Structure 1
């Protein structure tokens, strides 16, 4: 818990500070006087004032921050100061100040990704370890051991890139997904034909895993059919009836083909030097696709030798590292905007929204895995923060940019009444998004 809390606070502190520094730096370049730079909300825990008259504060609520600039509403403001207010600047200068916050977060993501590329990170080769039965990948003829070279027109270098390319392909619901492997092209049907959408869980629904799963029992559910039949951790399932089992997919396929509700199945088990059969009556459960499938309550062993074969270190030189960093940042931006767009259309569930509890949990998980994982998490969240702030919602940076664009078109600012109405609408939208995100957080918490 301590690691999770500290990792979350450090992440928020870094990302918010850089976001607000973007606003601050451009505001100072534009000649705007900055009254306060705050990380966090609420009564300041610590503050100091610099020689330019800016108050720097650290506040106790770590869910954001703000830069307060001199404006025309300051009471008893000397006339000479009006030239240094935000409102007195040309509209393009104001737009630059507003856009500088998200831009700083994108720049920070590039720095993080470049640091990872230069230092070297562990990655997995894009080799297919397991193709789950009755999935789009299995029906398309993808085989265990296939190396994916391209998804549609995107070149694939590792499993992380493969997963993101598949997520990107899922955002185009009417387009078939082309997996180009060293043995030929495999065509997966358009996502809408399978009821899939651009959600992280839908990638797993395609049926591709990097791990090679062995038909060896790694875990048993208490009181499951396998447990009641006498199976133990370490047992190897060699056959279901007369069908031999060489890999985990063979076991799943045989259970589905031979199993009938309330009918026993004979499993051939190898336990050390012993070889024997047991009778198991599977439980039948509802799958996400609406079908009923048999389960015996065992989890497979991962082939450690195969996983070691997939691992390699990625490291780039100075120029290549920057190219990789910019490419990864742009990829994250496209996917983030695509997810928000699909949410608005209703193609992606709002259950994918994450709030502070989920972000804190991921911060803790990545921090425990090591510095590289944590830095990659920071880069992704920095991009997400930039994209969120660029949404055209009043009260966010994107909403302010929208007002300034309207001012450019009209030749004068929107009326105070129109801006106030927009802010009220924006507040309702933001509160709604926050409530959904927090509700999802608690759902995940209690589901776990």
Structure 2
């Protein structure tokens, strides 16, 4: 139920903001707006503001919206109101009205990011867990417990600490790594064993990666999956392997089969690997600290098959919650960072779309309504800050998508106006009809791929 509610609230809000952008600029340009609708289908709410011509409507199906303006191309217009029709407005006014919807979504993202910066957000400290074996991070010399203090371009060599930017949280680090990986840039991380310790450079050779998908598999190849957590057992499930072995909530795991366990990530990996090539269970000897005593316990994780390979589980939460830090900024700095984050997400979205278009990135990066609904529910369950961050991300995506030069989108209409500004005449009705049909085909194809990806993710 939370997923459904969070999805409907997110979609309704983002669509309303988008259409409100069109509406406000249309009114400011002197255009008569007949209807402002959020959703399609049967109206469930409708009202008029006193003295205003616009009917406001909320419909049953919250998968879109529209602003209907007075327009001679859609219905006859009283000559006395012809100056209020959209099609009679100057080119600059028509372009501003069309562009206002996507820009409203981008401005919403700026406002959300700025608000989060001002209020402060709890995020994991930038302390690394054990890198994945054989990964870029392991080969770069990164270790569990390393604090990442700064990150910067690798172009200037390892002596460029002064040009690096401070890393304020693990989420900040993941974002910098994602950007660098998709750009094909190496990244220098300045790390120390303590937050006030002497920093040493470690180069992540991200330019060596063949990046086609920005997903969990990318970070597994890079080797940095999660922030540092203590290797502690928590929330033992009834009837699970952990309970059968006698493990208890709060047990701190010191060694597995005589090898020291440095953190929760290393322990999770040792558990996953406790399975034979044909799925046979493997028993491990765990040395755990409980109430000041060290106990040796035999644990047999239970094999499961996932994505064609065998892994093992103990049916318990593994790893403490990571240490958190409050990330917040002042009024001007917080606003500027909101603008910069919106720009970075927008540019990254455009780059990924461009790479998918030329075949350098997989179409599996496309997500549809099922994935969006899933993430809406998950972010809402994590709290208001996570949900607002999700709204900002989707608002940017909606704004960028609508600016694409597809005829059925706002960006397509802006292309028509660009043609009109260059030639002095509008696109002909015949060409407009052909382009609209072509745009619908392309958009339906993209939606089909996105929906297929959604189903594949949920099934897999």
| CA distance 1:91–1:111, shift in 2 (3 Å) | same
| CA distance 1:176–1:221, shift in 2 (3 Å) | farther
Aligned equivalents of 1:20 and 1:442: distance in 2?
29
Aligned equivalents of 2:3 and 2:283: distance in 1?
46
Once the two structures are superposed, residues 282-333 of structure 1 have per-residue CA deviations (whole angstroms, 9 ceiling, x without a partner) of 9798999xxx8x84434772134xx23xx12223332222122222222221
Of 412, 415, 418, the match for 1:402: 415
- 1:302 maps to 319
Q: Secondary structure at the match of 1:391?
A: coil
Aligned equivalents of 1:209 and 1:287: distance in 2?
19
Q: Secondary structure at the match of 1:24?
A: helix
- Comparing 235-244 with 139-148, greater Cα deviation is found at 235-244
| CA distance 1:238–1:387, shift in 2 (3 Å) | same
Where structure 1 has 5 or more consecutive residues not aligned to the other structure, the ranges are: none
Contact between 2:189 and 2:202, CA under 8 Å: does it hold in 1?
yes
Contact between 2:70 and 2:77, CA under 8 Å: does it hold in 1?
no
Once the two structures are superposed, residues 385-431 of structure 1 have per-residue CA deviations (whole angstroms, 9 ceiling, x without a partner) of 10111111111111111111121122211222222121111101111
- 1:188 maps to 204
Q: Secondary structure at the match of 2:42?
A: coil
- 1:212 maps to 228
- 1:384 maps to 397
Contact between 1:103 and 1:386, CA under 8 Å: does it hold in 2?
yes
Q: Does structure 1 residue 342 correspond to structure 2 residue 355?
A: yes
| CA distance 1:11–1:253, shift in 2 (3 Å) | closer
- 2:433 maps to 420
Aligned equivalents of 1:119 and 1:444: distance in 2?
34
Aligned equivalents of 1:122 and 1:330: distance in 2?
23
| CA distance 1:74–1:392, shift in 2 (3 Å) | closer
Counterparts of 1:229-248 in structure 2 under 5 Å?
231-234=245-248, 243-247=259-263
| CA distance 1:265–1:81, shift in 2 (3 Å) | closer
- 1:199 maps to 214
Q: Secondary structure at the match of 1:42?
A: strand
- 1:177 maps to 187
Counterparts of 1:287-366 in structure 2 under 5 Å?
295-298=311-314, 301-304=318-321, 307-308=322-323, 311-366=324-379
| CA distance 1:296–1:218, shift in 2 (3 Å) | farther
Aligned equivalents of 2:302 and 2:45: distance in 1?
62
Once the two structures are superposed, residues 28-82 of structure 1 have per-residue CA deviations (whole angstroms, 9 ceiling, x without a partner) of 1212211211111123223233423222111111011001112222444222332
Aligned equivalents of 1:256 and 1:435: distance in 2?
35
Question: What's the offset of the Cα at 1:345?
Answer: 2.5
Question: What's the offset of the Cα at 1:438?
Answer: 1.9
Aligned equivalents of 2:318 and 2:301: distance in 1?
22
| CA distance 1:284–1:54, shift in 2 (3 Å) | closer
Question: What's the offset of the Cα at 1:260?
Answer: 8.2
| CA distance 1:433–1:220, shift in 2 (3 Å) | farther
Cα-Cα RMSD:
3.5
- Comparing 175-184 with 325-334, greater Cα deviation is found at 175-184
- 1:82 maps to 82
Q: Secondary structure at the match of 1:211?
A: coil
Aligned equivalents of 1:266 and 1:301: distance in 2?
17
- 1:158 maps to 169
